[in-house]
Structure 1
C-alpha cells in the first residue's frame, strides 16, 4: 500500500516538515529540505520525475494544438475561446483532455500534498471545460477534497449533482446554474443521496465526511473527560480547536458534553442511513473497502454496471486513500464489524441452513458482520470515547444485557433481530 498523505509538505528523503522546503523543478510534485537530500534521493526519484516531465510536455503540446487549430466546419480555431463548457463536443479537444487526465492521475498517485492539490485542480478545471463530464471526473473530485480537508466544498459539490440538474437540464447551456451551491447544511438529513441509482462515490464521500465529524466529536468528548477542571478557561478553546481535524467541526468547539452527545447521536443515525443506502447501491462495497488489497487498487475495468464488482472496485480506488488518511475512520468501521460479529455468532447455524452458496461458518459470520456494520456503528462510536477497562466497554455491556435478556426469554431467541441489527 502507498504511504499516507500528510496535509503538510515533507522532504521526500528524511520526511522533515520544516518551513520552506524546496520543490523539485522537474516534476514540481516532490519537495526536499536541502539540495543534498535532493541529490541523495535522485536515483529513486529519477523515473518519477522523468514521467511527470513527459506528461507535462505532452499536455503542453496538446493544448497548443487546440489553441492554434486550423479551423474547419468541425474544428474551431481555439476551443478555449469558443467552447468552454462543452469541450467533449469538439473531437479535437479529446486528446488534450486525455493528456490532462493522465497527468492529474499520475500526480494524485504520488500521494504528495503538491500532487493531490494539482490533480484536484486539473479535475475541477476539466469539469469546467466540459460540464457534461464524459470522463466521470465528478466521481474522483469529492475524495480528493476530503483528503485536503475541503469538507464544505465537497458537500456543496455533491449536493449540487444530487439536487441541482434534473432530467431536462441542458448541459450545453452555459447560462444555466452550474455547481453554484455554497455553504449547504452538512448536518442535514442525507435522504437526497439515498435513492435508487444513486452515485456510490458520492454516497461514500458524504459518509466519510460525516464520520470525520463524528471522530472529531469523539475527540472533544475525550478532551472534556480528561482535562475538565485541569486547564484555565483561556486555554480550553485552544485545546479543543487542536483536537478536531475537519474545518466543519469548529462549530462543535465550546459545546457542552450534552450538546456533543446529541449531535453525535444525530450523525450516527445519518451514517446508518447512508450505510444502508450504500448497501442498496452496491452490496459488496463495504467488504471491499475493509478488505482492500493491491489487486483491487490496480484493477482497471473498461466499463461497469450498477451494483457490479467493477463499480465498487473503482469506488474503492477513488476513496481508499481518503479513508486511510482520516485517522480513526477505518478503525471505527472495523470495531463496528467486530461488534456485529460478536452479536451474530449464535445466528450463523440458522442462516447456514438456508444458505445456497456453500459458505463455511467463518464465511457466513464474515458476511453477516459486514452487512450489519451500520447497525452497530453507534456501539463503536460509544466505544471510541470510553476510557475504562476493556471488559466494560459499552459494546460489551450491551452484549451482556442482550444475552441476559435472551436467556430469560428462551434459548431459541436471537440476541438481535434483523430489524435491530441490519
Structure 2
C-alpha cells in the first residue's frame, strides 16, 4: 500500500499569512492570542523512531508489533509487543545519565530533544521561568526497578543503586527533561494510564493560560520487561494471538484483547502570541480538552461520551464540525461496543471517520494518547487520515466508519477538526480537540 510522503515543515516569518505547504498556519489569521499551539513534535514509537519515520510508517500501514526481544518471553502466555526499533541509548543519553535512568526516561529524553529542535525554541531567549514540562507516565521505571530488586534479593541492600530512589518514579521523565534542557518553569506529571497523555496536554494548556510561555508535554511508557509483563498479565485484557498482523483487532468481531507497546510522543505546546512573535509556524491548535471519571462498576454508565462532548464545548464546536476521531480502541468486545455506541450517540451511526493507528504500535500506556494526538496534528497538516490495520471491517454492533486498508484523503471539504479519545484503567476518560491553523 502506498501513500503520499508528507512534505517537510516549512518556515515563515511573523508577517506571513495563510497556511503553508505543510498545512501549518503561518500568520496572524491562523491563530489567536491565548491559544495553545503545537510547535514541535518528538516521537519514539514501535513503528518508527523519530517523527518522520513513524509518520511515514503509519501512513503506509507498517506496524511495529512483533515477538518480544527485550527478554525471553517463551514461558509467558503473551509473547508479542511493540518495541521501539533502533534505539541506541548512548546515541541519545549522555554517559553520566545512563546509570540513573530507566529505558522510558531515555526514550523521553530523545523525544523531548526532537520536539524542542523541531519547535526551534531558544530556551536561553525565553523568560527564566517561562518554559516548563508536563508529562504523563503510568508505570514509572519498571525495568530499572526490576534490576534493583534483583540486586537486593540476590546480593543484598549494599548492591542496590542509590538512583533507585528516583529512577523508578513517575516524575523522572519530567525531571530529567527539565534538567537536560534547563526548563525552570512549572513541572509536573500525570498518572492516569492511557488517558494520561491527553491529561498532561490539558495540564500544560492550563499552565499557558496562567502566563507560562511554553511546555514540553505528552507521555511515554516502557514496560516490556518481566516485571512489567507480570503486571500486564495480572491486569488482563491481553491478546494471546501469535500473529502480529491480527493480534490487536479493535472494533472487530474477532477482537480478543490488545498488545502492549512502549514509547509515545512529546509535543512543544506554546502560547500562540509568543509563538507568533518569534516567527514560529504552528502545526495546529489544541482547541479543547476534557476529562471524566467512570462510576464504580455496576453503578452507572461510562462517561467517555461526556468527556468528548465537554471537549467539543471547550473548543466551541459541535459534533458536525468534527472531521475525524482517533479512537481509544481497546480491542476488547465490551469496551469496543461501549466506545462505538458513545460515538454513534454523539455523531450518529457511521457519522464520522474513525481511526485507530495504535493497531500498528500496540497500546502504549500514557504514550498511546499522546501519540494519537501527534497523529491528529499531522493528519490535519497532510489532509490524510491514517488507517487502522488488522481490522478489515467493524463488527455489526460497532457502528463506526472505520478507516482501514489505506489512508483516507480529505473529501470536498478540508479536514479542520480532529477529536482524540482515551480511556485509562480504573475509569479515566480524556478527550482533546485539535484544530487546523490555516
TM normalised by structure 1 equals 0.25
Q: Which has the higher helix share?
A: 1
Higher relative contact order (CA 8 A, sep 6+): 2
Larger radius of gyration: 1
TM normalised by structure 2 equals 0.25
Q: Which has the higher strand share?
A: 2
